[in-house]
Amino acid sequence: MKLLYGPLYSRRLGMSLGVDTIPHKTCTFNCIYCHDGETTCLTVDRKDYLPPSRVLEELKLLAGQREHRNRRMDYITFAGSGEPTLNLSLGRYIRFVKSVSPVQVAVITNSSLLWKESVREELMAADLIVPSLDAATEETFLRINRPCPGLQLDKIIEGLKTLCRDFTGSVWLEVLLCEGINDGEEELRCMSRVIEELNVQKVQLNTVDRPPSLEEARPLSRERLVQVAALLGPKTETVEDFLTPARQALERGVFDRISSLLMDGQPRNLEQLCRRFRKSRQEMIKILTHMEKEGLVERCSAGSTRQYRGAKGIKSR
């Protein structure tokens, strides 16, 4: 496992250095929209998935640093390709980073374990918590998040309310919508009522942006997102994804190197590209998504393996 990845540009957090202490696709949910594929270890068991001594040793690299890999950090973010609150030592890691680094600490969570008092207590040392809530009714919750058996939406919402009441930092709620699944009028009315009871600084409305786990997870249009944002209340904003000039300068060199490699027409899978360019899965997926939008690469399937090759016509440019 690569614990530290980035810093990479986040639509919500600016330049964020990721900390991933959970094995790939170890999660409490198996969300239909996940860009990292199907969950391979669906669990609610909290434990130390890595020796804490190893994690703390790597986190020492951040001591006194405002930059990592020559990029200034806005946040050090516990996130990754699994659910971070599954790690039993998460609170210890947050407190350690806070003790050695001047950079703010964020935690991105799917909210599934916030009903546990022990989990909420571990998050208290963070500066920012970004929990998600994709459904306000049990039926929709089961359809979009496909949770580990035993998880109940009403308990999760109560845990989220308690966290928002007790946490002294900032809470930004993320709501991700899929067309025809959790964007119906009644579902949104229920979601609006839940949001009214949450003490959050903002609600960030998102939709499917990268290739999802299931094709039925379709994005909402920009116009529909704006309509829903108005319905969910004044704290709601839509999350935009675009390449700023600064981000273009950071990524353009990587785009060119990947394009050169794929010009031979041979497909490479995600893992091969990560190793070749020394990027984490999270970084590489972001990069390839933007390259796909620009027509520089195209996805091709080989069973369940995600592969990429140069887009047709790219050689002539």
Among the three residues 238, 255, 276, which one is the final residue of a domain in this structure? 238
Compute the distance between CA of residue 275 and CA of residue 303 in angstroms, rounded to an integer.
21
Is residue 172 located within the same domain as residue 35?
yes
For the chain, give me the number of helices (H) and strands (E)? 10, 15
Amino acid identity at 127: D
> Any idea what the CATH number is for the domain that residue 293 is in?
1.10.10.10
Among the three residues 205, 238, 271, which one is the final residue of a domain in this structure? 238
Rounded to the nearest 10 degrees, what angle do helices 270-277 and 245-262 cross at? 110
Is residue 127 located within the same domain as residue 266?
no
Is residue 49 located within the same domain as residue 116?
yes
pLDDT score at 315: 47
Is residue 92 located within the same domain as residue 135?
yes
> Any idea what the CATH number is for the domain that residue 165 is in?
3.20.20.70
- Which structural domain range is residue 27 located in? 4-238
- Establish if 317 belongs to a structural domain: no
Q: Are 86 and 22 in contact (CB under 8 A)?
A: yes
- Establish if 267 belongs to a structural domain: yes
Is residue 27 located within the same domain as residue 104?
yes
Among the three residues 188, 204, 238, which one is the final residue of a domain in this structure? 238
Is residue 18 located within the same domain as residue 150?
yes
- Establish if 82 belongs to a structural domain: yes
CA distances from 53 to 88, 91, 93, 96, 138 (A): 13, 14, 10, 12, 40
pLDDT score at 73: 95
The dihedral built from the CA positions of residue 179, 183, 185 and 186, taken in this order, carries a sign that is positive
Q: Chunk the chain into consecutive blocks of 10 residues (it has 317) and report each block's average pLDDT, rounded to whole numbers.
A: 81 90 94 90 96 95 91 93 95 97 97 98 97 97 97 98 96 96 96 95 92 91 93 89 52 77 84 78 74 80 73 55
pLDDT score at 201: 95
- Establish if 134 belongs to a structural domain: yes
Is residue 106 located within the same domain as residue 251?
no
Is residue 80 located within the same domain as residue 220?
yes
Is residue 219 located within the same domain as residue 252?
no
**Token duo for residue 80:** 């990754």
Q: What is the pTM of this model?
A: 0.81
Compute the distance between CA of residue 2 and CA of residue 283 in angstroms, rounded to an integer.
12
Is residue 46 located within the same domain as residue 165?
yes
Is residue 265 located within the same domain as residue 185?
no
Compute the distance between CA of residue 67 and CA of residue 7 in angstroms, rounded to an integer.
9
Is residue 132 located within the same domain as residue 182?
yes
Q: Are 91 and 48 in contact (CB under 8 A)?
A: no
pLDDT score at 239: 85
pLDDT score at 248: 55
